[in-house]
A and B are shown apart, each in its own frame.
Chain A
Amino acid sequence: MSALRLRRDPRAERAARLVPGNGRLRYDMSATPDGPMTSPSGRLRRDPRAERQRLLTTGRDGRARLVRSGLVGQMAGSVASTTPVAKKVRVEQPEFFIIVVPDLPDGRLDRSDRQVLGAARKLADAGGGAVVVVGETVDEASLGVAGSDRFVPLSGGSDPDTRVAELVAVMDALSPRHVLLPESEEGADMARRLAARTGLGLLPGIEVLGPKQVIRPCGAGRQEWVGGLAALMTLAPDRVPAWEGDAHEILPLEETVEEPIPASANMTVGAVISADPATMNLGDAPFVVSAGRGVTDFASFRATVRALHATPGASRVVCDNGDMPRSTQVGASGTILDAQCYVALGIAGAPQHLQGLGRVEHVVAVNTDLHAAMVARAGLAIIADAQTVMLALCEVLAAEYGEKGA
């Protein structure tokens, strides 16, 4: 009946890891004072953190990299030095035009806008064409750097049909070879409206763009279509690189664009309303703070989440116990997150739970177990009692933001 269970003594373990010396206490976390950890049936326990440290090296861009094949050292390539060149490219008498309609959120080119411009540049440079950006107000210098040669401003109304009419007017004036848009929410909508209005061919969501052929997924993503270019095309995100060559100069457009005849607006779109982090759908939330078994006081947990302006999440155990509603459950059988940042309070990180962290970029873990999977996944790991740290976090936030933030 005497079940032999190895009980851990975290204090003793920590003491064994103390690095000798005076001044501040320092611990060597890679040391394993008890020798390898084993389970009751004799299976060796892995130390993912130590394994990771062994594989860590510095990549050519100076960022930390993991080399799993054991080729440490060979990866550190030359750091390419790119000295900025002052001269700007001028495309004065273009053979043809490529129109790009970027989204320009907050009046700036975003990542996918730049990629569409990169694609347009590629098509234009293959035959001496010019890239024309058509859009609402934007900083012209950044357009040139992104590879644009011309800029045609739009009025910026909230009625998509008016926007289409303005774009059609620009197309009528320039007879572009291609019109390119990002396959983003707004870009996708605009491209289809243009296609329906003009009757031009549309190839949406292109993943591979060549000078003669494009590839786009179809058939529920199980097939791909390969064929020639179309007049209207939208680009899937992160498929075509942005323009990294010399900046172009934005020249005035020689052609005149007719004012479109104003049509009666039968549709208006209002300003965007952001979701309230406290109530938004967990799968959409950019910042999630989650409670696991290490959290005991859920009123303070909710207060902490509110103070952080995050969306509350929870582990399966917590939801099963009814401490948090089922809708907050993160994991394979709950919600798969798409967050930028995930704070795991007292969650060890069962495989099922980690599956829920699918696309999360940054993880902060607060946990008493150094060997927890969540700690291995974290960018910041704190080995401490989650409940205590959470209360401290609540106090720190209250002190910093005052009553307003708390």
Chain B
Amino acid sequence: MGGRTGLLASGLVWGMAGALAASAVPMVRRWRKGKASPKDMIRGLATVPQRYLVDVHHAVERRKGAAPMHALVAGGTLAGSVALAAGVIPALRESRLYWGGVGVFFVTAIGGTYLVWKRRNPRKPSWLSGGRFLWLPDALLAWNLGGALVALVHVAIPEKSGVAWVPLAMMVGGGAGLVVQVARGPMRHAFSGVTWLAAHSRPERFGGGRSTDLRPLDLAAPTLGTLVPGDFAWNILASFDACIECGRCEQHCPAFAAGQRLNPKALIQGLALSARSEDVSAYTGSPAPHAPPTAGKGSMTSAIIGADAMIHPDTLWACTTCRSCVEQCPMMIEHVDAIVDLRRGQTLMLGEVRPGAADALRRLRDTGESGGRPLSARADGLAGENVPVLTEEDETDVLLWLGDGAYELRYARTLRALVKLLRLAGVKFAILGEAEPDCGDLARRLGDEATFQGLATEVIGTLNSRRFQRIVTADPHALNVLKNEYPALGGKWEVVHHTTFLDELVSAGRLKLDARDLPSVAYHDPCYLGRYNGEFDAPRRLLAAACKTTVEMERHGKQSMCCGGGGGNPVSDVDAELRIPDIRMGQASEVGAAIVAVGCPGCTAMLEGVPEPRPEVKDIAELVLEAVVPA
């Protein structure tokens, strides 16, 4: 006879499972107040193990020690508890082997609990939250140690199992603590995380895929974008609850680094707190730097943004939409989608945009150009190159999309280099000339979907009336819009970045390069080329072929840091402590780069705006042109 303590321990696990299930009910009820977004939950849940073990794990293990901690504490606690729950079967309770197994699981979990404790001790790092996290190791320890001791008693002295009352009491205390952690504390991420992984808004991202396009908005909908938490879809509300406040987003956010009133973690927590009608004081992580205080209150039906609400408006406009936070988030939360939804609400429903952004949007509406410059002047920088303009009658292989950087003298130099390279390689190409308006990238990132769709309609109409094989652009923002976002509105063409295209020409032998002996060159990945479009290799291959010495900055590839030029940040006049491009150029100097190679007009302008002394900024096209050998 295993005694009553063994059965009681099993019963306790079942009771706790029941309590946890009951705690999920209000959570689900709350999510259902969000907008409907039909998801096949059965199929979704079936994919969760794979999504968790592959994609989530991949992100988790990027921080040293995080994956073992998780495996030990979550694996041990879950395995021990499930095994203990199985103890309702009398036969098992008789077996010392069974109790031995239970004990091993719980001891493993104790090891994990130590790792959990170690994260915040002796000192809590700035990116981690405090509050209920601080006694989480205590609850885990009580539960797991209790479990281990119960098992030990049953292994060592089964005849005196009565003494297991003491560890059982520990388990009761620990279990109660864990229920509180799940129902009202950070451990809710266990349930909400599974739900969010099953009902993710961008399932294409799992299994190494990519999904970065902003989704079109129905401009006839009663509410455009998000004003109150209830305007988010139910699964997005679940994603906010899934945030475990690990602070990786905060560590990688360029705006946060520059002191720009945005902390992606505080933002997601603010959204979760609003939806839960909790006070901002429940958030114990670091706040958005220098953000003016707000009332810090919210509910499912009250405004999120505003000095009298939860999140200060300055926070929204500081985002450069670089997707670094999204890339880092182990729970695969879509911060940028949330920010753009909130911006859409502010812009379209309230007209609350920064003065600089309002001017740019007005010019886009009225002139089709963000600077209000004549469309005929876009190609002025190429005047000496005699690039043909593609009319409806003509036909060409490559249509060169110039983008709004073309108005700047500096970027025109890049374009001239690109045009010369295309000539050298014998490519047949043309531009749209006056028929090229703004592609709408800025409007869309600022949340002005109406202006974006207006511009998109115009561009798609123009492009559909021209005959060409594919579009090449030196502007990754235009690339992203043309390639990823126009298809949903009816514009489908093959669009490639100039580095991809030049790389093709070099591999095909149409351009021959002789690597030059320059001081070391570091490549700065543009967010909209790298994270948004997965192009990391072509620019590096070109660079390796054109320059002898190349170096990598610490943050490169998917982890690359933004130049500060995206998402309408420059026109939104965001106050800061530091300038994002200064930080980025500092990183280039740290690795001894004398030249920073770029592939984006935004990056060029931002990085060249860094005061000297700083590395020189050169577009890859310019470096390739200098290295080209006449055939």
Residues in chain A within 8 A of chain B (CB atoms): 1-5, 39-41, 293, 316-317, 320-322, 326, 333, 348, 350-352
Nearest neighbor of B610 in chain A, beta-carbon distance: A317
CB–CB B592/A293 < 8 A? no
User: Which one of A316, A326, A348, A350 has the highest number of Cβ atoms from chain B below 10 Å of its Cβ?
Assistant: A326
Contacts A4-B519, A40-B594; is A326 near B578 (CB within 8 Å)? no
Query: B409 near A: Cβ within 8 Å?
Result: yes
Task: Report the bound CA distance from A234 to B576 in whole Å.
Answer: 49
Task: Report the bound CA distance from A373 to B325 in whole Å.
Answer: 39
Task: Report the bound CA distance from A52 to B356 in whole Å.
Answer: 36
CB–CB B577/A40 < 8 A? no
Q: Which of B596-631 contact A (CB under 8 A)?
A: 609, 611-613, 615-616, 618, 626
CB–CB A1/B592 < 8 A? yes
* Cβ-neighbour of A320 out of B356, B551, B579 (below 8 A): B579
Q: Which residues of B contact A321 (CB under 8 A)?
A: 576-579
* Cβ-neighbour of B594 out of A5, A350, A351 (below 8 A): A5
Q: Which residues of A contact B409 (CB under 8 A)?
A: 351
Shortest Cβ distance from residue A376 to the other chain B in the assembled complex, whole angstroms: 16
Q: Which of B550-567 contact A (CB under 8 A)?
A: 551
CB–CB A41/B609 < 8 A? no
Q: Which residues of B contact A326 (CB under 8 A)?
A: 573, 575
CB–CB A317/B579 < 8 A? yes
Shortest Cβ distance from residue B626 to the other chain A in the assembled complex, whole angstroms: 8
CB–CB A333/B611 < 8 A? no
Task: Report the bound CA distance from A350 to B605 in whole Å.
Answer: 11
Task: Report the bound CA distance from A99 to B609 in whole Å.
Answer: 56
Task: Report the bound CA distance from A348 to B612 in whole Å.
Answer: 10
Shortest Cβ distance from residue A196 to the other chain B in the assembled complex, whole angstroms: 30
Nearest neighbor of B579 in chain A, beta-carbon distance: A320
Nearest neighbor of A1 in chain B, beta-carbon distance: B592
Task: Report the bound CA distance from A44 to B427 in whole Å.
Answer: 31
CB–CB A4/B609 < 8 A? no
CB–CB A1/B579 < 8 A? no
Task: Report the bound CA distance from A293 to B551 in whole Å.
Answer: 30
CB–CB A322/B519 < 8 A? no
Shortest Cβ distance from residue A9 to the other chain B in the assembled complex, whole angstroms: 13
Task: Report the bound CA distance from A326 to B575 in whole Å.
Answer: 8
Task: Report the bound CA distance from A3 to B616 in whole Å.
Answer: 12
Nearest neighbor of B518 in chain A, beta-carbon distance: A41
Q: Which residues of A contact B579 (CB under 8 A)?
A: 317, 320-321
State the main secondary structure of chain A at its contact with B. Answer: loop
CB–CB B410/A351 < 8 A? yes
Contacts A348-B611, A352-B609; is A40 near B576 (CB within 8 Å)? no
Contacts A40-B518, A321-B577; is A1 near B571 (CB within 8 Å)? no
Query: B593 near A: Cβ within 8 Å?
Result: yes
Task: Report the bound CA distance from A352 to B610 in whole Å.
Answer: 12
With A41-B616, A41-B618, A321-B577 already in contact, 9 other A-B pairs whose C-beta atoms are closer than 8 Å: A1-B591, A3-B519, A4-B519, A39-B616, A40-B595, A41-B626, A316-B609, A320-B579, A351-B409
Nearest neighbor of B612 in chain A, beta-carbon distance: A348
10 contacts between A and B (CB under 8 A): A1-B520, A1-B551, A1-B592, A4-B594, A40-B518, A40-B594, A320-B579, A321-B577, A322-B575, A348-B611
Query: B570 near A: Cβ within 8 Å?
Result: yes
Nearest neighbor of A2 in chain B, beta-carbon distance: B592
CB–CB B573/A322 < 8 A? no
CB–CB B573/A3 < 8 A? no
Residues in chain B within 8 A of chain A (CB atoms): 356, 409-410, 518-520, 551, 570-571, 573, 575-579, 591-595, 609, 611-613, 615-616, 618, 626
Shortest Cβ distance from residue A294 to the other chain B in the assembled complex, whole angstroms: 10
CB–CB A320/B611 < 8 A? no
Task: Report the bound CA distance from A2 to B594 in whole Å.
Answer: 9
CB–CB A5/B613 < 8 A? yes
Nearest neighbor of B354 in chain A, beta-carbon distance: A326
Q: Which residues of B contact A316 (CB under 8 A)?
A: 609
Q: Which residues of B contact A322 (CB under 8 A)?
A: 575-577
Q: Which residues of A contact B570 (CB under 8 A)?
A: 333
Shortest Cβ distance from residue A113 to the other chain B in the assembled complex, whole angstroms: 34
CB–CB B519/A40 < 8 A? yes
CB–CB A293/B519 < 8 A? no
Pairs A-B, 4 closest by C-beta atoms: A3-B594, A3-B592, A1-B592, A40-B594
CB–CB A40/B611 < 8 A? no
Task: Report the bound CA distance from A167 to B631 in whole Å.
Answer: 80
Shortest Cβ distance from residue B619 to the other chain A in the assembled complex, whole angstroms: 12
Shortest Cβ distance from residue B513 to the other chain A in the assembled complex, whole angstroms: 16
* Cβ-neighbour of B595 out of A2, A41, A317 (below 8 A): A41
Q: Which residues of A contact B618 (CB under 8 A)?
A: 41
Task: Report the bound CA distance from A217 to B609 in whole Å.
Answer: 39
Task: Report the bound CA distance from A351 to B615 in whole Å.
Answer: 18
Nearest neighbor of A326 in chain B, beta-carbon distance: B573
Q: Which residues of B contact A351 (CB under 8 A)?
A: 409-410
Shortest Cβ distance from residue A316 to the other chain B in the assembled complex, whole angstroms: 7
Q: Which residues of B contact A1 (CB under 8 A)?
A: 520, 551, 591-592
Task: Report the bound CA distance from A1 to B618 in whole Å.
Answer: 19
CB–CB A40/B575 < 8 A? no
Nearest neighbor of B551 in chain A, beta-carbon distance: A1
Q: Which residues of A contact B595 (CB under 8 A)?
A: 40-41
Shortest Cβ distance from residue A1 to the other chain B in the assembled complex, whole angstroms: 4
Nearest neighbor of B593 in chain A, beta-carbon distance: A3
Task: Report the bound CA distance from A1 to B519 in whole Å.
Answer: 8
Q: Which residues of B contact A5 (CB under 8 A)?
A: 519, 594, 613
Shortest Cβ distance from residue B345 to the other chain A in the assembled complex, whole angstroms: 24
Task: Report the bound CA distance from A350 to B410 in whole Å.
Answer: 12
Nearest neighbor of A350 in chain B, beta-carbon distance: B609
Shortest Cβ distance from residue A102 to the other chain B in the assembled complex, whole angstroms: 35
Task: Report the bound CA distance from A156 to B550 in whole Å.
Answer: 77
Q: Which residues of B contact A40 (CB under 8 A)?
A: 518-519, 594-595, 615-616
Shortest Cβ distance from residue A320 to the other chain B in the assembled complex, whole angstroms: 5
Shortest Cβ distance from residue B405 to the other chain A in the assembled complex, whole angstroms: 13
Shortest Cβ distance from residue B420 to the other chain A in the assembled complex, whole angstroms: 16
User: Which one of B577, B578, B594 has the highest number of Cβ atoms from chain A below 10 Å of its Cβ?
Assistant: B594
CB–CB A293/B594 < 8 A? no
